[in-house]
């Protein structure tokens, strides 16, 4: 699974109502597209019309369209069973990493290396 720092925001014209900026932001943040669109409209209604419009125009011009092979499945598009399966897989991977770390920290190698560092 990609971390936020290793991902990039793309335009999502295939999911677009206008240019795909909101869909791209939603995919990057892994939130529903409707939520991003509602926040955009509310910001325009509550006094940030020009700022929102300028930011949208800049992003529409600056962002690249999503590559054809880019993963388009976000957590908001998965069924609850698929989300649960993904969460279980992540928990299993995390548990394995934790077990490896615990095994290393309790090993004789770690103890010896730690003592040498303290010298």
Q: pLDDT tens digits for 45-97?
A: 888 888 888 888 888 888 877 776 655 555 556 677 777 788 788 888 889 88
Structural domain including 13 reads 1-72
Q: Which residues pair with 11 in a beta bridge?
A: 65
Same domain, 86 and 48: no
Same domain, 85 and 46: no
Secondary structure tally for the chain: helices H, strands E: 5, 0
Q: What is the longest distance spanned by two Cα atoms in the chain?
A: 64
Same domain, 17 and 62: yes
Same domain, 100 and 66: no
Q: What does DSSP assign to residue 4?
A: G
Same domain, 40 and 84: no
- Distance between CA atoms of residues 7 and 110, nearest Å: 35
Overall number of domains in the chain: 2
Same domain, 105 and 61: no
- Distance between CA atoms of residues 74 and 36, nearest Å: 14
Average pLDDT over residues 15-23: 76
């Amino acid at each position: 699974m990609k971390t936020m720092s290793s991902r990039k925001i793309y335009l999502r014209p295939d999911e677009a109502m206008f240019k795909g900026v909101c869909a791209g932001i939603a995919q990057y943040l892994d939130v529903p597209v409707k939520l991003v669109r509602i926040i955009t409209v509310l910001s325009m209604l509550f006094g940030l019309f020009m700022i929102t419009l300028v930011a949208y125009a800049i992003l529409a011009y600056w962002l690249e369209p999503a590559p054809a092979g880019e993963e388009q499945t976000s957590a908001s598009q998965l069924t609850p069973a698929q989300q649960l399966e993904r969460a279980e897989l992540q928990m299993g991977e995390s548990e394995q990493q934790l077990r490896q770390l615990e095994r290393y920290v309790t090993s004789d190698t770690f103890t010896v290396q730690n003592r040498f560092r303290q010298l």
